[in-house]
């Protein structure tokens, strides 16, 4: 990748990262949620919350338009002994279930929730006195404003920016804060435990003919007519089938595959290459070799990586982004699982079902790996270390856990340890990755927080603070501050 850096995107947009994701809805392994809360709730409790958001928060639908790759992959999975699965998680394959309404993206921001939201505002830090969170300092229109909370402060800035705000507020690793001359309010492992679903297998499938979903028909203006009716190629989420399997013959899958009908090379470098930050050398030596084919991907991701990274602020200046060290593939076991996972993906590609629609494995050797026997373990190790990237599922930097644990930042009520009236509710609190795409798990966690906290938060002892009038923002800020 350009500058040897992985491009990590977050949702700086109304609706957050769910506004940018692939819309894939997966419940995951519910037993993991029980472990997150250390037995505080049973599996039925989480199922009830998932059912609630599925019926009342999200609009869930099957994909409205599919390529011929879908049925072929499901048949191939059946050849290998996998079956289709329903909402409850197990090692099998299914057509993608998506958060869409009438073929169009649906996120929680599509509900009428923007009445009291201020945009283009940068939260600089949390206001804390005597270990009580009572507001935030916010940069709006070149001015610093203080917004006071009557009941509490909820941080929901995401896995990369919530730890940044906490560290700027004096909550984080003491060694880091002291080095930046930030007074330490609480010495907590904020910014540790960064985890992500990373994967490989881009453009691994080649076809001599074009599939029904391709770069050309994505640019066809006639598809607008179908899109307005909730149909056609423009409704595709970009991932048509998801599958889960174990590389260790276990009942618990450790790999997820996402079947992408259109490969990175499909648009000849106009967009996808840039969004992934692929270097000129790799582009010309590998991806351009497939320009005469239709490319598709079996994006193979590791569900529960052992490698964990960090997110640390570099300065007291809140405008400067944090330093993110993902430490991808720093643990050998992650490499071994990806190697085994791609070998199973190759079996899918070589199945009779895929051969019947003209699929073949991409045999172009990856640059820097050609000295190894093609698709041997050593070749795949080289390939994985060159072409593994994020699926934008980062979690863990403000992990939930028991107060006595050295790894915990928030307790099982989402409250920051040893700080009253300060809560974190976003992907950063997930102590481990869910077994699949994370949107459903995060929405479920938010719903638990609302049901167990919002309805009975006590009034802040600093309720005597009054909001100030800031011109046209007064109506917004007043309602934020006065919210009961």
Predicted model pTM: 0.91
Nearest to 166 by CA among 441, 418, 391, 449: 418
Ramachandran angles phi, psi of 95, nearest 5°: -65, 150
Is residue 150 one of the residues assigned to a domain? Answer: no
| pLDDT given for residue 92 in this prediction | 87
Is residue 448 one of the residues assigned to a domain? Answer: no
Nearest to 28 by CA among 304, 429, 434: 434
- Binding site per annotation, positions for FAD: 123, 427
**Number of domains within the chain:** 1
Nearest to 292 by CA among 203, 206, 201: 206
Rounded to whole angstroms, how far apart are CA atoms 162 and 164?
A: 5
> Within 13 A of 192's CA, how many CA atoms are on the CB side?
16
Nearest to 167 by CA among 115, 218, 211, 128: 128
What DSSP string describes 3-22? GG--------STTGGGGTS-
- Binding site per annotation, positions: 123, 427
Residue whose token pair is 């899109």: 227
Kindly report the CATH number assigned to the domain that includes residue 287: 3.30.410.40
88: its two tokens: 């409850």
| pLDDT given for residue 456 in this prediction | 67
Alpha-carbon Rg for the chain, nearest whole angstrom, is 23
Nearest to 242 by CA among 98, 106, 53: 98
Residue range of the domain that includes 353: 63-103+198-302+329-387
| pLDDT given for residue 478 in this prediction | 42
Is residue 226 one of the residues assigned to a domain? Answer: yes
Is residue 221 one of the residues assigned to a domain? Answer: yes
Q: How confident is the model over 96-134, as pLDDT tens digits?
A: 999 998 888 888 777 766 667 888 899 999 999 999 999
β-bridge mates for residue 98, sequence order: 24, 61
Rounded to whole angstroms, how far apart are CA atoms 312 and 324?
A: 7
Is residue 319 one of the residues assigned to a domain? Answer: no
146: its two tokens: 């203080």
Rounded to whole angstroms, how far apart are CA atoms 80 and 35?
A: 32
Torsion, Cα of 286, 287, 288, 294 (10° steps): 130
Give 76's contacts (C-beta < 8 A, 6+ positions apart).
348, 349, 351, 352, 353, 354
Is residue 136 one of the residues assigned to a domain? Answer: no
Is residue 298 one of the residues assigned to a domain? Answer: yes
Is residue 365 one of the residues assigned to a domain? Answer: yes
Rounded to whole angstroms, how far apart are CA atoms 420 and 133?
A: 6
| pLDDT given for residue 11 in this prediction | 84
Note whether 236 and 213 are within 8 A (CB): yes
Q: What is the pLDDT along the chain (484 residues), one digit of tens a residue?
A: 999 888 898 888 888 888 888 899 999 999 999 999 999 999 999 999 999 999 988 899 999 889 999 999 999 999 998 876 555 556 689 999 999 988 888 887 777 666 678 888 999 999 999 999 999 999 998 899 999 998 899 999 999 999 999 999 999 999 999 999 999 999 999 999 999 999 999 999 999 988 888 777 777 788 787 788 888 888 888 899 999 999 988 778 999 999 999 999 988 888 889 889 999 999 999 999 999 999 999 999 999 999 999 999 999 999 999 999 999 999 999 999 999 999 999 999 999 999 999 999 999 999 999 999 999 999 999 999 999 999 999 999 999 999 999 999 999 999 999 999 999 999 999 999 999 999 999 999 999 999 999 876 555 544 444 444 444 444 444 444 433 2
């Amino acid at each position: 990748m350009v500058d040897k850096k992985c491009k990590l995107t977050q949702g700086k947009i109304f609706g957050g990262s769910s506004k940018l994701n692939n819309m894939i809805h997966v419940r995951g392994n519910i037993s993991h949620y029980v472990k997150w809360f250390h037995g505080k709730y049973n599996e039925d409790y989480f199922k009830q919350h998932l059912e609630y958001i599925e019926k009342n928060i999200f609009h869930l639908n099957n994909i409205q338009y599919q390529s011929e790759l879908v049925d072929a992959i499901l048949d191939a999975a059946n050849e290998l002994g996998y079956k289709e699965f329903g909402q409850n998680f197990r090692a099998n394959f299914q057509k993608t279930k998506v958060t869409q309404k009438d073929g169009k993206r649906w996120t929680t921001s599509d509900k009428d929730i923007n009445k009291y939201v201020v945009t283009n505002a940068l939260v600089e830090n949390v206001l804390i006195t005597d270990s009580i969170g009572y507001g935030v300092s916010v940069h709006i229109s070149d001015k610093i404003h203080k917004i006071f909370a009557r009941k509490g402060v909820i941080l929901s800035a995401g896995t990369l920016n919530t730890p940044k705000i906490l560290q700027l507020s004096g909550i984080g690793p003491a060694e880091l804060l002291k080095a930046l001359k930030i007074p330490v309010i609480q010495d907590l492992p904020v910014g540790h435990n960064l985890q992500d679903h990373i994967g490989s297998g881009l453009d691994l499938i080649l076809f001599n003919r074009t599939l029904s979903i391709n770069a050309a028909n994505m640019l066809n203006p006639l598809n607008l007519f179908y899109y307005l009716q909730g149909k056609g190629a423009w409704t595709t989420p970009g991932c048509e089938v998801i599958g889960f399997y174990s590389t260790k013959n276990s009942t618990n899958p450790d790999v997820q595959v996402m079947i992408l009908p259109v490969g990175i090379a499909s648009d000849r470098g106009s967009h996808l290459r840039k969004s992934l930050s692929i270097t000129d050398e790799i582009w010309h030596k590998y991806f351009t070799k497939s320009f005469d084919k239709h490319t598709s991907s079996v994006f193979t991701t590791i569900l529960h990586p052992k490698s964990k990274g960090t997110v640390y602020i570099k300065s007291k200046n809140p405008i400067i982004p944090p330093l993110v060290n993902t430490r991808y593939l720093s643990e050998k076991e992650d490499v071994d699982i990806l190697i085994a996972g791609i070998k199973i993906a190759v079996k899918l590609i070589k199945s009779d079902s895929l051969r019947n629609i003209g699929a073949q494995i991409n045999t172009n050797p990856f640059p820097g790996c050609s000295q190894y026997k093609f698709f041997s373990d050593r070749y795949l190790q080289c390939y994985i270390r060159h072409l593994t990237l994020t699926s934008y599922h980062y979690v863990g930097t403000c992990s939930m856990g028991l107060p006595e644990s050295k790894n915990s930042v928030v307790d099982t009520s989402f409250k920051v340890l040893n700080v009253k009236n300060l809560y974190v509710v976003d992907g950063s609190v997930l102590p481990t990755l869910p077994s699949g795409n994370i949107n459903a798990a995060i929405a479920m966690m938010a719903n638990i927080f609302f049901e167990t906290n919002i309805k009975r938060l006590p009034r802040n002892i600093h309720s005597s603070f009054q909001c100030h009038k800031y011109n046209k923002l007064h109506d917004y800020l007043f309602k934020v501050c006065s919210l009961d």
